[in-house]
Structure 1
């Protein structure tokens, strides 16, 4: 590991919990795993936390690399990809043998040893770049304060540089849409009107992306060819007057969301937007409409991430569904709002929950299931990693529709940012999939108080 042109990356434990196979992302550079990281992985792999599985995957990946290596080779470094000349190397550093140079917080002994190892390598390997890679923001600050020159977040799974560039699921054309169109070919198919137009003015465009203007045009991209696109003409007036479970859209963004939620040809709907923009309300209203009125689904499954569920769900009384209720209060609140005008709201809720077969499930118990003919609502997606979202979406079988909603401004996970959130990852990965639609709900419709708070706090 002596080539000065290659960078030297020291990985923190949270990198291997976030992406267990992260070691393979540093192909042309060298990687050092401090012994403290292995100790922390060992503690986590036997815990009840939902990251225990990721810890075991990371340990197995390291064991596969080092199984035939001698102790000297492990400390000196072995090729990450055997048989490739330009491949980087990976080594394990016995950081407990190093002389202590940092006396920081006693309760963070593991972090201090990792910082100590990074400073040791920085001095020993100079002038090589030694980079500490960690997803812990506070660890990055402490590292810089302790004298580590290069500290980075793990970004190989990051698809965009700024959440501002994330596709909103619709294009807004200024003025009148038809005034800017030079050539169009329109045709009717099964009572629907489709317009074929030049592709260039709409670039970049994606399947099922909506196109709206400032007057009354609403279209949805139905087909993309080399130099043309086909737009399905949707009447704005019809969209705005559409109802699901007696709920009508309050703005054009909610109308587009409702269109996607009620479309049987769309299997995945991603709803993003501020708190109070109507994500959960629209999803539940359309779920009840399609399950009870149209008999399209056998059940409605509501699930969300519960950060400390591994430890605390066991202490709550009742069945799995009763244990989940504190975390799913947002959903039960919405159900109450949908039936607030009924003669007996409580009786209505019990009847609806039985009739629609609404099930509240923990994300931890979704792995290994196959969900058929269900409407799945995955709430608070911004706190999930890409692998957690993949776990749930790959559960969906025939006749299942999944709605993923979240607000990137309300991330609770200490390791996720808006650009590394699984919600961002999903929006980017599915934007070209014909069976998915993504709508960013602009505007807060909860109350004028909520709208003012969203804009000014």
Structure 2
């Protein structure tokens, strides 16, 4: 049965192509949504870009017909801008004030009431990223849904980069004898991805075990090529950290993604690996460390000073790790060290668009605050001979229109998990302190 979908503004600000995501159904855009898009179009961030893209998209539909009457889409559905669908009386009886959200709800409610008077009513569904709007819709007796088409995977199915297999001890002995295992001989019944880590355990309950990695062709299990020696004074404290270093120090894997809760060592391990590759091995010409400028909580507004002074508060977590690795004693010493080396650059992602970055070890911290478009822009900047590492906690997002399954970091993890040039590991155990681990688990 054909359905009517009424879209909230936040759906279009999250994904301008959402109008094409409803197959052969009718998409309704309330007039107040156009006003809200107009208010956002001057923003210089991803939200402003999406507002402008949506505006151009709607303008293109005008060539096919009048939007107030409805325009047929190529997928068999239609799109219509609703100017003022009947009255607000029913809404005012319930919620009083006619805010923008309530106006959108009024459109959906009046469509629903109109359809109920028909012999074969069409279902009317309000689509919104706003939880409270969906709750209000439910109170009014409307069907409301979150917009899920931008999600790359459900929370329970997120790729971790590591799997534990319980096998007969003879299989583990075979690995130690031949130093590899053919995946097809294990008859697992599911796929192991290239560069995925595998922990073998004895199904009989003994302590016999092995740590392996799927080769880049995805056909064999092979031993790790690195020892557990410290790098820049940092040694892996658990199995996942050792897996992370295996990916970070492997020059044949130019794209690495690390996820995990606060305190699991993502940034420290990555910066240590970058310093080793740039300063010790001279594999790369420069270490470039960047992070998005997205505030946690209320923005503190404009900052005084030149560019570097303005960026310093945002980049301070990176400097904290550098101070630890260089073991500086006094405030300001790290700036002298970095100035002397000249091969380490710390900057905001604002300045990366349009660049081509060859021969560098690139670290993108807090990548969970990037949208899919932004992360595409960043990864596509990587030039010949560069390696890029994306770090973040998908469950700790400060961006208003992203969540654990729709952010750019999760998008890259899922899209690249079948590629031999990429590797991923989810760090689980916190190593910052017992208090930090408890805070991550309990709060």
TM-score, structure 2 normalization: 0.89
Matched, 1:248 2:238: no
User: CA shift at 1:301, angstroms?
Assistant: 2.1
Give 1:105 deviation, angstroms.
Answer: 7.5
* Alignment deviations for residues 54-81 of structure 1 (CA, whole Å, 9 cap, x no partner): 11111111111222413xxx22322111
Is structure 2 residue 44 aligned with structure 1 residue 57? no
Secondary structure of residue in 1 paired with 2:191: coil
After superposition, the C-alpha distances for 1:157-209 in whole angstroms (9 at most, x for unaligned) are: 22323x122111011224x775346977987xxxxx54334253272210000
Q: Are residues 148 and 61 of structure 1, via their aligned partners in 2, closer, same or farther at CA, if it must alter by over 3 Å?
A: farther
Q: 2:149 aligns with which of 133, 147, 156?
A: 156
Matched, 1:452 2:442: no
Partner of 1:54: helix, strand, or coil? Answer: helix
Work out the number of aligned pairs and report it. 429
CA contact (8 A) 2:8 2:126 kept: yes
Q: Deviations over 1:308-356 (max 9, x none)?
A: 69x979821233333222122221111122233x566743553135415
Q: Would the aligned equivalents of 1:339 and 1:349 in 2 still touch at CA under 8 Å?
A: no
- Gap runs ≥5 in structure 2: 202-207
Question: Quick one: which of 109, 128, 136 aligns to 2:130?
Answer: 136
User: Offset at 1:101?
Assistant: 3.4
**Is 1:264 aligned to residue 258 of structure 2?**
no
Is the CA contact (8 Å cut-off) linking 1:271 and 1:406 kept in structure 2? yes
**Contact kept? 1:379, 1:405, Cα under 8 Å:** yes
Question: CA RMSD, aligned part only?
Answer: 2.7
CA distance in 1, matches of 2:177, 2:56: 58
Match of 2:286 in 1: 299
Query: Are the aligned partners of 1:373 and 1:399 in contact in 2 as well (CA < 8 Å)?
Result: yes
Q: 80, 87, 95: which is aligned to 2:84?
A: 95
Select 2:72's aligned residue among 79, 85, 88: 79
For 1:286 and 1:185, locate their aligned partners in 2 and report how far apart those are by CA, in whole Å: 28
Counterpart for residue 219 of structure 1? 212
| 1:421 counterpart (384, 393, 407) | 407
Deviation at 1:367, TM superposition (A): 2.0
From 360, 379, 382, the equivalent of 2:365 is: 379
Deviation at 1:403, TM superposition (A): 0.9
**Structure 1 residue 414 displacement after superposition:** 3.0
| Deviation readout 1:375-430 (Å, 9 max, x if unpaired) | 22111122222222111111111122111111122122332222222222221111
Call closer, same or farther: CA 1:308–1:156 in 2, change over 3 Å. Answer: same
**Matched residue SS, 2:188:** helix
Taking structure 1 as the reference length, the TM-score comes to 0.86
Residues 113-192 of structure 1 aligned to structure 2 (within 5 Å): 113-126=103-116, 127-145=121-139, 147-161=140-154, 163-174=155-166, 178-180=169-171
Distance 1:346 1:173, change over 3 A: farther
Whole-angstrom CA distance in 2 between matches of 1:307 and 1:114: 29
Alignment of 1:389 onto 2:378: no
Contact 2:257 2:423 in 1 (8 A): yes
SS at match of 2:429: coil
Which of residues 41, 44, 47 in structure 2 aligns to 1:45? 41
Give SS of 2:424's match.
strand
The whole-number CA distance in structure 1 between the counterparts of 2:342 and 2:301 is 27
Q: CA 1:246–1:65 in structure 2 vs 1: closer, same or farther (change >3 Å)?
A: same
**Distance in structure 1 (CA, Å) of the matches to 2:232 and 2:282:** 14
Unaligned runs of 5+ in 1: 188-192
For residues 370 and 250 of structure 1, what CA distance do their matches in structure 2 show?
Answer: 36
What corresponds to 2:28 in structure 1?
32
